[in-house]
């Protein structure tokens, strides 16, 4: 189904960029709060029970009503719905969106020919830039305890922030990344939908006074694993563990991406030599420059 946006009052729920826009610009919402608002906005004029909302937003996870209530409160603060003019609480039944909601077409629906040309010949979305791009998927909570989600989400968000400091990488934003949380979608499909070349996945397993954090980097274009590592730490200070692991993982990821990009570019040099011309010479120069960066990346990896 093509992406679209939902309009209610002065607010726009962008289902492609996964963000909420208001009169003053983008409004910050946690991923689960966004999903709660999204589900309600997609079913205006109908009372949605708490059980239905929880099943839609937290599939296969046991959570209490408190988690839903916190999300509803955050949504109401975000849209200034103090008097429940937009989202009404129906006592002992659930929640009702009583505002008018209109669906706006996506660019693909409004301009199908332009959208078709914007896609690669075989269908997947084209990357937004010619350089390497990466999505950091939400780290999986293997403990199964919803109370541990804060550590998984925190490490994911911090890695996204840290990677964004490297100008050569296009890093998918948090809102888009967290859309895939708790969804059973193959990494290859996610890569095609976001137009990225690399995927970072991870998990966190906690036991008594220790925690194991695992991460693996995959080349989305080939499906091959580039790098994987796990980190065992004692639970003395959760935030200190989070900071240490993020500071360790981020530069290693960038080094491995540079190494992979160098190998990719070197592999294409023979093809470029077969097609002489100004543009080819520029591409060869770019490939050699990438190879030089790759050599630096090799040395950085060896130091670790």
| Model pLDDT for residues 115-137, shown as the tens digit of each residue | 343 333 333 444 444 578 899 99
Q: What gap in Å lies between CA 173 and CA 222, rounded to an integer?
A: 23
The answer to whether residues 34 and 20 touch, using CB atoms and an 8 Å cutoff, is: yes
In this prediction, residues 149-159 reach a mean pLDDT of 89
pLDDT at 3 over 70: no
Give percent above pLDDT 70 in the chain. 77
The answer to whether residues 15 and 2 touch, using CB atoms and an 8 Å cutoff, is: no
The neighbouring-strand residues paired with 81 are none
114 Cβ contact list (under 8 Å, min separation 6): 107
Tell me the backbone φ, ψ of residue 8, rounded to 5 degrees. -145, 120
Tell me the backbone φ, ψ of residue 53, rounded to 5 degrees. -65, -45
Say if strands 198-207 and 224-234 run parallel, antiparallel, or are unpaired.
unpaired
Q: Where in the chain is the domain with CATH 3.40.50.10610?
A: 121-254
The answer to whether residues 256 and 301 touch, using CB atoms and an 8 Å cutoff, is: yes
Q: What gap in Å lies between CA 87 and CA 99, rounded to an integer?
A: 8
Q: Which residue has the tokens 């990357």?
A: 127
Q: What is the pTM of this model?
A: 0.52
Q: What is the pLDDT of residues 110-119, one digit of tens each?
A: 334 433 433 3
Q: What gap in Å lies between CA 229 and CA 217, rounded to an integer?
A: 9
Can you spell out the DSSP letters for 156-209?
HHHHHHHHTT-TT-EE--HHHHHTTTT----HHHHHHHHT-SEEEEEEEEEETT
Closest by CA to 102, choosing from 32, 17, 45, is: 45
The neighbouring-strand residues paired with 213 are 204, 231
Three-class DSSP category at 78: helix
Q: What is the pLDDT of residue 268?
A: 56
Q: What gap in Å lies between CA 6 and CA 104, rounded to an integer?
A: 6
Which secondary-structure segment (H or E) carries 50? helix 50-57
Q: What is the pLDDT of residues 43-68, one digit of tens each?
A: 999 999 999 999 999 887 788 888 89
The neighbouring-strand residues paired with 13 are 6, 20
Q: What is the pLDDT of residues 208-263, one digit of tens each?
A: 788 899 999 998 888 888 999 999 988 877 788 888 888 889 888 888 888 888 87
Q: What is the pLDDT of residue 125?
A: 44
* Per-residue burial over 130-142, b = 16 or more CB atoms within 10 Å of its CB, e = otherwise: eebbbbbbbbbbe
Q: What is the pLDDT of residue 208?
A: 79
Q: What is the pLDDT of residue 126?
A: 44
pLDDT at 291 over 60: no
Closest by CA to 215, choosing from 236, 193, 198, is: 198
Q: Where in the chain is the domain with CATH 1.10.10.10?
A: 5-104
Give me the chain's average pLDDT, please. 78
Domain at 5-104: CATH architecture? Orthogonal Bundle (1.10)
The neighbouring-strand residues paired with 103 are 6
Which secondary-structure segment (H or E) carries 76? helix 65-79
* Range from 38-42, 101-105, 265-269, 280-284 that averages highest in pLDDT: 38-42
Domain at 121-254: CATH architecture? 3-Layer(aba) Sandwich (3.40)
Q: What is the pLDDT of residue 238?
A: 78
The answer to whether residues 134 and 198 touch, using CB atoms and an 8 Å cutoff, is: yes
Q: What is the pLDDT of residue 272?
A: 45
Q: What's the maximum distance between 2 C-alpha atoms anywhere in the chain? A: 73
Where does the pLDDT of residue 267 fall: very low under 50, low under 70, confident under 90, or very high at 90 and above? low
Say if strands 11-14 and 19-22 run parallel, antiparallel, or are unpaired.
antiparallel
Which secondary-structure segment (H or E) carries 216? strand 210-219
Say if strands 198-207 and 133-136 run parallel, antiparallel, or are unpaired.
parallel
Q: What is the pLDDT of residues 167-200, one digit of tens each?
A: 888 888 887 888 888 888 887 888 888 888 899 9
């Amino acid at each position: 189904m093509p992406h679209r946006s939902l309009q209610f009052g002065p607010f726009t729920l962008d289902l492609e960029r996964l963000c909420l826009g208001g009169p003053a610009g983008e409004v910050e919402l946690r991923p689960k709060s966004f999903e709660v608002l999204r589900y309600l906005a997609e079913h205006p004029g109908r009372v949605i029970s708490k059980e239905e909302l929880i099943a839609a937003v937290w599939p296969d996870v046991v959570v209490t009503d408190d988690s839903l209530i916190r999300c509803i409160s955050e949504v109401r603060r975000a849209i200034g719905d103090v008097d429940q003019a937009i989202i009404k609480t129906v006592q002992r039944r659930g929640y009702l969106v009583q505002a008018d909601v209109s669906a706006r077409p996506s660019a693909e629906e409004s301009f199908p020919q332009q959208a078709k040309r914007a896609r690669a010949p075989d269908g997947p979305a084209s990357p937004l830039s010619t350089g390497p791009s990466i999505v950091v998927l939400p780290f999986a909570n293997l403990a199964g305890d919803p109370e541990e989600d804060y550590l998984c989400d925190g490490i994911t968000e911090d890695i996204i922030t840290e990677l964004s400091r490297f100008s050569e990488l296009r890093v998918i934003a948090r809102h888009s990344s967290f859309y895939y949380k708790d969804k059973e979608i193959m990494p290859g499909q996610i890569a095609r939908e976001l137009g990225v070349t690399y995927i970072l996945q991870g998990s966190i397993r906690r036991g008594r006074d220790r925690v194991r954090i695992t991460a693996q980097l995959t080349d989305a274009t080939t499906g091959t694993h580039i790098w994987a590592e796990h980190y065992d730490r004692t639970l003395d200070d959760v935030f200190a563990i989070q900071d240490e692991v993020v500071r360790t993982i981020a530069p290693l990821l960038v080094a491995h991406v540079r190494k992979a990009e160098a190998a990719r570019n070197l592999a294409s040099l023979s093809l470029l030599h077969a097609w002489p011309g100004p543009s080819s010479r520029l591409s060869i120069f770019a490939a050699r420059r990438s190879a030089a960066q790759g050599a630096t990346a090799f040395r950085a990896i060896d130091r670790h």
